Amino acid sequence: MPLSEKEFKELTEKAHQIRKDVIQTVVWSGGGHVGGSLSQVEILVALYYKFLNIKPKEPKWADRDRVILSKGHGGVGYAPVLADKGYFNKSLLKDFNHTGSAFGMHLDSLKVKGVDASTGSLGHGLSIAVGLAMGARLAKKKYVTYCIMGDGELAEGTIWEAAMSAAHYKLNNLIGIVDKNLLCIDGPTKDIMNIDPVDEKWKAFGWKVKTVNGHDFYELCNAIEQAIAYKDGPFVIIANTIKGKGVDFMEGVPAWHYGGIDAAKAKKALESIDRMYGKK
């Protein structure tokens, strides 16, 4: 079913809020992987506020959909979403990445409610997702497993081993989403390790592929609906995004893969986000 105007407005308002929450969390933590956390906002908002079958008050519910944030460094942007959904109190984010806090820079599934797998060594998330999807089939469960990957980690061999396995076993309960923001910690992905034509690579490995604007809720939600309905094997969405999306001095700047934000920068960042959403 196409995204309604009401849904679009609600998702857009939520993305606005989450972007501001990301900035605030980075301020509290003293630093964070802010660029990639901002590029993934629409992906997480679309999943958590429209598609996922979850019960935040029962984080271990056996029939819940699973989400694997393979780009584990996006934790500073993932935790605000989980807090907003009610997995834990938002005030806990004030201690993000502090000594003794449950919230490390890469979220630990044993410590943070709502996190289905600890990720951080890039390239491993899809392998975990394949295992969960196969487990669902064996247990005759109907849950869907979503795996959110960064484009930088597609240079890892484990991604393609997992991709080959998913296609071999025709895992139609597995949906991959690539946050293709074109940058990794060392610079543009095309210079560090060119992955293009990445859509053709996924097709060659047996996946159904859809490329979208990763900041457009209409395109993104339509693609997710197609992926859920597809029954011939695994489906991957290539979401073209902008690293640092919403903060003008961060957008497309490799140096903002990780960074700290003082009060002055936070003020400018929040003002920039408000401008993007037409707010003063």
**279 — alpha (psi -120 to 50), left (phi > 0) or beta?**
beta
pLDDT tens for each residue of 127-174: 999 999 999 999 999 999 999 999 999 999 999 999 999 999 999 999
Chain-centroid distance, C-alpha 176:
10
**pLDDT at res. 121:** 85
pLDDT tens for each residue of 219-250: 999 999 999 999 999 999 999 999 999 999 99
What DSSP designation does 51 have?
I
Order of all β-strands in the sheet with 145-150: 66-69, 145-150, 174-180, 235-240, 208-213
| Rounded Cα–Cα distance for residues 125 and 148 (Å) | 8
Residue 272 CB partners (closer than 8 Å, separation 6+): 246, 247, 248, 249
Contact at 8 Å (CB) between 212 and 219?
yes
Average pLDDT over residues 171-193: 97
What b-and-e string marks burial along 112-149, b requiring 16 or more CB atoms within 10 Å of the CB?
bebbbbbbbebbbbbbbbbebbbebbeeeeebbbbbbb
pLDDT tens for each residue of 43-96: 999 999 999 999 999 999 999 999 999 999 999 999 999 999 999 999 999 999
Class at the top of the CATH hierarchy for domain 5-276: alpha beta
Chain-centroid distance, C-alpha 271:
24
pTM to 2 decimal places: 0.98
| Rounded Cα–Cα distance for residues 121 and 259 (Å) | 20
**pLDDT at res. 280:** 66
Average pLDDT over residues 250-279: 96
Only one residue has tokens 């990720």, namely 119
| Rounded Cα–Cα distance for residues 155 and 190 (Å) | 11
- Of the candidates 147, 141, 139, which has an alpha carbon nearest to the alpha carbon of residue 178? 147
**pLDDT at res. 2:** 85
pLDDT tens for each residue of 17-29: 999 999 999 999 9
CA angle, residues 248, 262, 272, in degrees to nearest 5 = 25
- Of the candidates 187, 207, 190, 189, which has an alpha carbon nearest to the alpha carbon of residue 199? 207
What is the β-pairing status of strands 145-150 and 66-69? parallel
**pLDDT at res. 266:** 98
Mean pLDDT, the chain, as a whole number?
97
Average pLDDT over residues 179-206: 97
Please report, to the nearest 10 degrees, the dihedral formed by the alpha carbons of residues 16, 18, 22, 28 taken in order: 110
